[in-house]
Structure 1
Amino acid sequence: MRLIPMLFPLLLAGAAVPAQAELPEGAQAMIDAAIATGDPAKVKTVLDLARSTWPDDAAEIEAIGKEFRTALARRQAAAEQRKEQAIRNAGLFDMWKGEGELGGFQSSGNSNTVGVTAGLKLKREGIDWSHRLRARFDFQRQNGVTSREQLFLSYEPRWQFDESVFAYGLTQFERDQIQGVDARYAISGGLGYQVLDNNSLSLSVKAGPAYRVTEFTDGRNDSRIAALAGFDFDWRIFERLTLTQDASAVAETGGEAVVLIDSANTTINLVTGLNFQVSDRLRARMSYQLDYDSNPPAGKVSTDTLTRATLIYGF
């Protein structure tokens, strides 16, 4: 091997490969420039081109590629080790990322109104555990009368015990007096599966038992055993445009798990959105939400829809 001894330390430090007398000047300059970027794809492309252009120097070119890959793997392993150590040493309020959302909405169903909407999402990624917090508030007031006041809060911890399989827990609170619900509390736990996860497509599904308590605006209280199913789909159509689809369905029994058909009540929440990436942190979003309750309170309709136009800021 005609590689000089200083090659590996320089690669490890991220520096360019020094010129070698054995390689043609054009080949060495091209390889140096590619390695200086630190981009493995660019380095591979340049090395392949160099081998085809200077076949007599293929052994030296391959040796350079091997040294680059070895140094890159060690740098990546060291970075992963530092990241893991930072996670293990993080406090309760560290390592959170999120986004805030603010905009307007137009609704139809039990009410036909326009108003303001605000939302917050927080996420903390650990080694095996992750935590998700969500909050949304829709409000509209007209002529001194509140015509819409919808609040949703949820907390979902996940344990990723396999590359694609996870266990989840979920607690959530809802308030939607327009639909006749003064307060609704739910708790659920089950399993989920990451069906797809690449640069353009992401799809995960989850399902499990649930228990839900509902306090209606007419004074009635209802406690039921339920089943929960949901999915989360994201499709990156273009570089800056993403289609999102979130859905969850809860089917309740009459209070005992063995009765799955009699006295059933099903609620469905379906949210479809288009996100446009304005900048690294700012997105514009248009979304359409459908809320369905198969057994609404007297005087209420089963289906509510909500169209939102919002700006989202990531932090």
Structure 2
Amino acid sequence: MPVFLLFLAQLVALPAWAGVLTLDNGDRIYGELVLVEQDHVVWQSENFGELRIEKAKVLSLDTDQDLKIAGREEPCALAGHRREQWELYCDSGSGWLMDFPAINRAEPYINYIGKPYTLHGNASAGGVFEHGNREREDLDVNINLDLRHGDFHHLVNALYQSQSNQEVDSLEKYQLSYDLRWIFAEKWFAAANTEAEKEEARNLDLGTTVGLGLGYLFFDTEKAALSIQGGVSSLHEQFIATELSEAQDDRYAAARAAINYRYKFALGPEIYYDQEILQSVNSGEDYQTNVKLGVRTPLMENLMMEIAQHWLYDNTPSLESEKEDTKLTIGVGYQW
């Protein structure tokens, strides 16, 4: 009986938390894994609540939870963490090794299937309205949505611009785009992009773009993201005044390259840079590039101010149109 009681006491003394995080200074923190990000491990500790620890300070991580690794649908078990490498076993095959510092995202599989959808976005508006000695009305409205479901990312952008003054009578621009990303490996994703736009200042009645490509995700966290992609696109353009666009192809294929970057500073402001280049495969002179560089600064909870510089260069524009368009917008908006 004393032996049985001693064994029972040892069982009771064991920590109730199934995971152990060991730091490079030798500290052992019992708890559960919440999330592995590009630069940090989020850990729910037994005594200190939720901790955010730099990866460089983690010597080893042990957990008995099944994990969701970006690019794999099935749950994976962590068999060991040695020499900055994870040894993983997934349902679909034998074990494999991953560099722990290079893991972009990993989380408990039960969290992944329990909360599969996340939605972020922002909407902003800005304008200039003058009446009297000078007549001017400018309006810019922009909406961005980022819906994520597991390894699928849905990116939606809607844009409306209107400009009118004493010399120009109401030039409008409408643009709607949808990008789909499927992360099929830890860093790689397949991409499909579509876009429709109307821009009276460029003599464009309706332009549509459909494309496919491949992308590489360097990192994607709440603080920062960087990705590049390349592929091919099919463009179809209908012009308002066809006589001004006789030298332009109304349907052509183009090679596409794009880069997307954002970074959020500790004090709140966020900068972003988006660029797209389209090069016609039929004509070396027919190319265009779109660039948007902006800053979003929080004003109060969920409210922000946004300043953005837009730059468009079209090497073969319609007659009477400039090759280069630039615009600076300042507005306020709501983000979630």
TM-score above 0.5, yes or no: yes
8 Å CA contact retained: 1:266, 1:295: yes
Counterpart for residue 288 of structure 2 = 267
Could you say what secondary structure the match of 1:183 adopts? strand
What CA distance in whole angstroms lies between the structure 1 residues aligned with 2:50 and 2:194? 43
Counterpart for residue 235 of structure 1 = 263
1:109-258 residue pairs with structure 2 within 5 A? 115-142=138-165, 146-197=169-220, 201-219=224-242, 222-254=250-282
In terms of Rg, which structure is larger? Answer: 1
Counterpart for residue 51 of structure 2 = 40
CA, structure 1 residues 194+284, in 2 after alignment: closer, same or farther (shift >3 Å)? same
Query: Whose strand fraction is larger, Structure 1's or Structure 2's?
Result: 2
Tell me whether 1:282 sits opposite 2:303 in the alignment: yes
8 Å CA contact retained: 2:271, 2:295: yes
CA, structure 1 residues 84+218, in 2 after alignment: closer, same or farther (shift >3 Å)? same
Q: CA deviation at 1:36?
A: 4.3
What CA distance in whole angstroms lies between the structure 1 residues aligned with 2:232 and 2:108? 36
Match of 2:15 among 8, 24, 43: 8
8 Å CA contact retained: 2:233, 2:255: yes
8 Å CA contact retained: 1:96, 1:125: yes
CA, structure 1 residues 105+210, in 2 after alignment: closer, same or farther (shift >3 Å)? farther
CA, structure 1 residues 75+38, in 2 after alignment: closer, same or farther (shift >3 Å)? farther
8 Å CA contact retained: 1:206, 1:229: yes
What CA distance in whole angstroms lies between the structure 2 residues aligned with 1:212 and 1:283? 35
| Structure 2 letter corresponding to 1:39 | E
Q: CA deviation at 1:305?
A: 0.9
CA, structure 1 residues 311+76, in 2 after alignment: closer, same or farther (shift >3 Å)? farther
| Structure 1 letter corresponding to 2:140 | T
What CA distance in whole angstroms lies between the structure 2 residues aligned with 1:145 and 1:3? 84
CA RMSD of aligned residues (A): 3.5
Could you say what secondary structure the match of 1:299 adopts? coil
What CA distance in whole angstroms lies between the structure 2 residues aligned with 1:245 and 1:274? 9
Tell me whether 1:300 sits opposite 2:321 in the alignment: yes
CA, structure 1 residues 171+74, in 2 after alignment: closer, same or farther (shift >3 Å)? same
What CA distance in whole angstroms lies between the structure 1 residues aligned with 2:324 and 2:52? 50
What CA distance in whole angstroms lies between the structure 2 residues aligned with 1:160 and 1:184? 29
What CA distance in whole angstroms lies between the structure 2 residues aligned with 1:207 and 1:293? 19
What CA distance in whole angstroms lies between the structure 2 residues aligned with 1:266 and 1:241? 33
Query: Whose helix fraction is larger, Structure 1's or Structure 2's?
Result: 1
8 Å CA contact retained: 1:240, 1:278: no
Q: CA deviation at 1:302?
A: 0.6
Could you say what secondary structure the match of 1:40 adopts? strand
Counterpart for residue 81 of structure 2 = none
8 Å CA contact retained: 1:151, 1:175: yes
8 Å CA contact retained: 1:208, 1:229: yes
8 Å CA contact retained: 1:105, 1:307: no
Q: Deviations over 1:195-216 (max 9, x none)?
A: 3445654221111011101112
TM-score normalized by the length of structure 1: 0.68
My pick for the range that moved more, 146-155 or 172-181, is 146-155
Counterpart for residue 45 of structure 1 = none
- In structure 1, runs of 5+ residues without a counterpart are 13-33, 43-65, 89-93, 107-112, 255-259
8 Å CA contact retained: 1:101, 1:119: yes
TM-score normalized by the length of structure 2: 0.64
Q: Deviations over 1:146-190 (max 9, x none)?
A: 433111111111110111111100010111111221111111111
What CA distance in whole angstroms lies between the structure 1 residues aligned with 2:317 and 2:302? 40
Counterpart for residue 311 of structure 1 = 332
Q: Deviations over 1:28-79 (max 9, x none)?
A: xxxxxx854413358xxxxxxxxxxxxxxxxxxxxxxx9xx868x7599898
RCO higher in 1 or 2 (8 Å CA, sep ≥ 6)? 1
